[in-house]
Amino acid sequence: MSTPAEQLIDEAIIQKDEAKGLHNLIYVKDLNLYYGKSQALKNIELNVRDKGITVLLGPSGCGKTTLLKTFNRLTDLYPDIRTKGSIYFQGENILDKNIDVYALRQKMGLLSQRPYPLPGTIADNIKYALKVRGITNKTEQADLTEHYLKKAAIWEEVKDRLKQPAGRLSIGQQQRLCLARGLSIEPRVILADEPTSALDPISSGKIEEQLMELRKEYSVVLVTHLLRQAKRLADYVVFMYYGEILEKGRPQVVFNEPKNAIFKEYLEVGH
C-alpha cells in the first residue's frame, strides 16, 4: 500500500488537475526501469486521462510497450527488470510490493499485437471472463456474452456459431473476440499494444472504430509507431524516444506546433 506521504502527494496532484478541469486516472511519477544494467525508461512523468485515448507514439524499440507493461505489472514476469518511481492508479502506488497484482490486471484490459483466443468455443472465451467475475448463471452468461460481443462489433458475425472453436475465426475476428473477452472483465483501462499491427486494413479499421467508441467509457492507452493512426485516434499524444518522453500534449498542438527537434524530424519523415 502507499505510504501516507505518498497518498498526500497523490491527492495534491489530483486536486490540482481537477482545479484545471482535468480528470486523470493514472499518474506516473519519476519512473525509471532497468533491464539488468541497461536503462529502458528514463524519468517518465505522465498523467493518463480518465476516458479518451492516450497514444504512446514513437519508433520501434523506444520503450512504448515497456511503459505500457508497467501499468499492469507484466514487467514482473521478467526477473532482471527493476523499477524505481511511482505509478498511481485509483489512489494507490501500483508498483508497491503489497499491491494485489491479480486484482490490478482485472482493471487493466490488455489487447496484444496478436490475438490469443483461449482454447474452446467463441462463447467459452467470454464465459471464462464472466466466471472470473463470479457470474455463473447460464442465462446471465448468455445475455452478457451477447452484450460484450456487440460491444466489440463482432456479434453479427458470430451469433450463429458461438459453439464453434474460436481458432476458426479470422485473425481480425479473433482480435475483436479478445477485445470482447477483455471488456467482459469490466476493466477501467484498456491497454492496446499495437493491436492492428498484424491485421489487414479492413480489420484494422474495425478495431480503430471500436476504440473510438470505447474511449467514451474507458481510458485507452494505445501503443503505435504509425503516425497516421495516432492522428486519427489520439486525444492525447506522448512521443517517446530511447526510453524518454520528448513531447506530450493534445494532438492539435503537438502535431502542428512541435517543440522537440527529434519529434519534428519524426513528423517530417512521416512514419
pLDDT of residue 14: 62
Asked if 52 and 71 count as a contact pair (C-beta separation under 8 A), the reply is no
Tell me, what DSSP letter sits at residue 119?
S
Q: Note the pLDDT tens digit of each residue in 199-208.
A: 999 999 999 9
- Using CA atoms, how far apart are residues 259 and 265, in angstroms rounded to an integer? 11
pLDDT of residue 12: 62
Segments of the chain scoring below 70 in pLDDT: 1-22, 270-271
Asked if 115 and 178 count as a contact pair (C-beta separation under 8 A), the reply is yes
CA distances from 141 to 51, 120, 137, 153, 176 (A): 27, 16, 6, 18, 19
pLDDT of residue 33: 97
Q: How many CB atoms lie within 10 A of CB 224?
A: 23
Q: Note the pLDDT tens digit of each residue in 43-94.
A: 999 999 989 999 999 998 899 999 999 999 999 999 999 999 999 998 899 9
pTM: 0.89
pLDDT of residue 9: 53
Asked if 203 and 171 count as a contact pair (C-beta separation under 8 A), the reply is yes
